[in-house]
Amino acid sequence: MRQTAQTPEREPFVAHWSAKPDTELEWHTISDSQNYRRQRSSLRSKALSFACFLSLALLAHRFWPYLTSAVFSADSRLSVDEDSMCPQVSAISPSNYASLIDSLDEEYGTKEFKLKAYESLGAAVRIPTVCYDDLGTPEEDPRWKIFYDFHSYIEKRFPKVHATLQRTEVATYALVYHWQGADASLKPLLLAAHIDVVPTNDATDDDWINPPFSGYYDGEWIWGRGSCDYKPGVIGSMTAIETLLERGFKPTRSIILAYGIDEERGGLTGAAAIGEYLVKTYGKDSISMIVDEGGGYSDMGGTIFAAPAVAEKGYLDVRMDVLTPGGHSSRPPKHTGIGILAGVVTELEANPHVPELARDRTYYQSLQCRAKYDAAFPPDMRKLVLESQSSDEKLRELAKRLDDFDPAYSASAGTTQAIDIIYGGVKVNALPEAVYAIANHRIADHSSVSELQDRFTNIVAPVAAKYNMSLDAFGKTVGLEVPTWGLVKLSDAFASALEPAPVTPTTGSGPYELLSGTVLSTLKTNLRTDNPPDDAVVTPGL
């Protein structure tokens, strides 16, 4: 998850898939008796994250021929109208490799294996691969060197992986592995993760129950930076491949692993170089499916809602500079730069972004899943969601109700605006000549950087005119050309603008169905929890 100094919060990442499904695939059913048998002997393990399970399961359950049929009977309480809501696929398991899967599941279910896997992750956490915003190039900045320790560690921990897969160092410290498949005509699968973690604040050292780089396993959790975000992605995929190699497995489809080194500052060095390397090595549109960090899962009354992120909002920090003539404050103008900036901020907050509820977007689709499968969803809201599928009037009514119903509604279905930084004034008897504020935005999936800039400009322009100020909006002069009292300047504060990501298709999409089916079979049949869910649902996440 990317975090920035300005916005230290969780941000979803996207699982992208780029190719059409393989039509020849067949799918396999897991019978209820098998589920029961497997669940009975299971052990609890919160310690490895969902991402790890996903990687393990995905590799274990994928890229062999399948047999198909339905697994979970449709919920009988649902009316016909609900059938099209939140479509679910059948759980998937590779039937041609049933004995391999059984043998893997058996090993993954043992205490020895689990402790070894926790230690694989714990030891990875103990290597402080910290990413700083101001890291220089890999050649010049010694702070990168710690990544070498991580390389040596995984080499030792996963010897078969390193004896079999071809490893390439990209931008010195990022890693790309290639596992050659038997059928070179199939586009490879790419599993991505990142090795870097965010630093800790020294002032909070004493607040940690277990130290941030301890990798300590307390019987339930593994502690420390990267134990969740996102060393499980590295350790999970390595562990899965190591155990497959121990059984002599050879993939039909090639598999690529790509591990970034500065995702926490936007992947400037790692992801950028990996992207170039992949295009150079494999060509454009050459990957069947990319699975990366993003999304999560929650337990709603016994039903697990797994929500792989299929969309990601855009990003923009707008800096508002207000530049006015200086002078002594014994003879002040009616409004100082601070007063004018306050006027701008007040106007922005008086005009918040309005969320948009649209049927083809991820938020609405995830709402449909909750309405259909969350037993605690209020019946009147469920009815409204149902009716909103075909009635525009009901859709508008639903949007109004969501303001109160879902605290996350406006942040999920709209662009957010938060004025987070303000600076100005140097001395109490001197007029402030240069003051500024910065507004942080997460741009809705249906919007864009330029749409946000235009809206921002339209709100600020009348305020600037009112105070007799020129306006430079993102490099363009807007409004007053005549001599003015001063200048209001809008700009991208940290050159970090990001368009919303293209949304991964979830209906009629082979890759999404493959991921969903694998998630379902993993959640419903694994030996790795003693608390199996009553049911599991996959919902598109944002």
Ligand X SMILES: *[C@@H]1O[C@H](CO)[C@@H](O)[C@H](O)[C@H]1NC(C)=O
Helices (H), 41-109: 50-60, 98-109
Q: Which stretch binds ligand X (CB under 6 A): 23-31, 378-386, 410-418, 477-485?
A: 477-485
Least distance CB 344 / ligand X (angstroms)? 17
Residues ≥6 apart with Cβ < 8 Å to 191: 55, 58, 59, 233, 237, 255, 256, 257, 258, 291, 292
Q: Using the minimum distance from each CB to ligand X, give the nearer residue, 153 or 485.
A: 485
Q: Using the minimum distance from each CB to ligand X, give the nearer residue, 329 or 448.
A: 329
Least distance CB 323 / ligand X (angstroms)? 13
Three-state secondary structure readout of 218-241: CCCCECCCCCCCCHHHHHHHHHHH
Q: Taking the C-alpha atoms of 304, 310, 311 and 312 in order, what is their torsion angle to the nearest 10 degrees?
A: 80
Catalytic residue of the set 82, 105, 262, 263 = 263
Q: Using the minimum distance from each CB to ligand X, give the nearer residue, 46 or 466.
A: 466
Site for ligand X (CB under 6 A): which residue of 24, 202, 483, 495? 483
Q: Using the minimum distance from each CB to ligand X, give the nearer residue, 380 or 481.
A: 481
Give the separation between CA 10 and CA 258, rounded to whole angstroms.
22
Q: Using the minimum distance from each CB to ligand X, give the nearer residue, 374 or 433.
A: 433
Least distance CB 463 / ligand X (angstroms)? 15
Identify residues 420-439 at the interface with ligand X (CB under 6 A).
none
Question: Among this protein's residues, is 451 annotated catalytic?
Answer: no
- Distance from the Cα of residue 25 to its chain's centroid: 28
Q: Is 276 annotated as a binding residue?
A: no
* Omega before 259 within 30 of 0, i.e. cis: no
Q: Using the minimum distance from each CB to ligand X, give the nearer residue, 329 or 484.
A: 484
Q: Using the minimum distance from each CB to ligand X, give the nearer residue, 5 or 482.
A: 482
Helices (H), 467-534: 510-525
Residues ≥6 apart with Cβ < 8 Å to 23: 510
Determine the size of the site formed for ligand X (CB under 6 A): 4
Residue 249 touching ligand X (CB under 6 A): no
Site map 457..476 versus ligand X, x via CB under 6 A: -----------x--------
Least distance CB 486 / ligand X (angstroms)? 8
Q: Using the minimum distance from each CB to ligand X, give the nearer residue, 393 or 481.
A: 481
Residues ≥6 apart with Cβ < 8 Å to 136: none
Question: Among this protein's residues, is 263 annotated catalytic?
Answer: yes
Q: Is 162 annotated as a binding residue?
A: no
Question: In the chain, helix, strand, coil percent, each to 5?
Answer: 40, 15, 45
CA distances, 8 to each of 1, 145, 411, 438, 495 (Å): 10, 25, 16, 15, 18
Residues ≥6 apart with Cβ < 8 Å to 217: 47, 115, 118, 119, 122, 223
Least distance CB 350 / ligand X (angstroms)? 24
Q: Which stretch binds ligand X (CB under 6 A): 8-16, 256-264, 306-314, 481-489?
A: 481-489
CA distances, 239 to each of 69, 159, 242 (Å): 30, 11, 5
DSSP conformation class of 527: S
Least distance CB 305 / ligand X (angstroms)? 58
Residue with tokens 């701008």: 344
Site for ligand X (CB under 6 A): which residue of 485, 487, 494, 510? 485
Give the separation between CA 389 and CA 359, rounded to whole angstroms.
7
For residue 531, the SS3 value is: coil
| Contact call for residues 261 and 144 (beta carbons, < 8 A) | yes
Give the separation between CA 319 and CA 494, rounded to whole angstroms.
9
Give the separation between CA 480 and CA 477, rounded to whole angstroms.
8
Site for ligand X (CB under 6 A): which residue of 103, 180, 484, 496? 484
Q: Which stretch binds ligand X (CB under 6 A): 204-212, 344-352, 480-488, 520-528?
A: 480-488
Q: Is 534 annotated as a binding residue?
A: no
Q: Which stretch binds ligand X (CB under 6 A): 76-84, 164-172, 221-229, 479-487?
A: 479-487
Least distance CB 483 / ligand X (angstroms)? 5
Residue with tokens 């009354």: 301
Give the separation between CA 369 and CA 17, rounded to whole angstroms.
22
Catalytic residue of the set 82, 105, 196, 535 = 196
Q: Is 446 annotated as a binding residue?
A: no
Least distance CB 464 / ligand X (angstroms)? 11
Least distance CB 481 / ligand X (angstroms)? 12
Q: Which stretch binds ligand X (CB under 6 A): 291-299, 349-357, 482-490, 525-533?
A: 482-490
Tokens of 375: 């037993």
| In the complex, residue closest to ligand X by CB | 468
Site map 81..120 versus ligand X, x via CB under 6 A: ----------------------------------------
Biggest distance spanned by C-alpha atoms of the chain: 87
Q: Which stretch binds ligand X (CB under 6 A): 138-146, 356-364, 458-466, 483-491?
A: 483-491
Tokens of 431: 């007029």
Q: Using the minimum distance from each CB to ligand X, give the nearer residue, 322 or 542.
A: 322
Q: Which residues are annotated as catalytic?
A: 196, 263
Question: Can you give the binding site for ligand X, defined by CB under 6 A?
Answer: 468, 483-485
Residue list for the binding site: 194, 229, 264, 292
Residue list for the binding site for Zn(2+): 194, 229, 264, 292
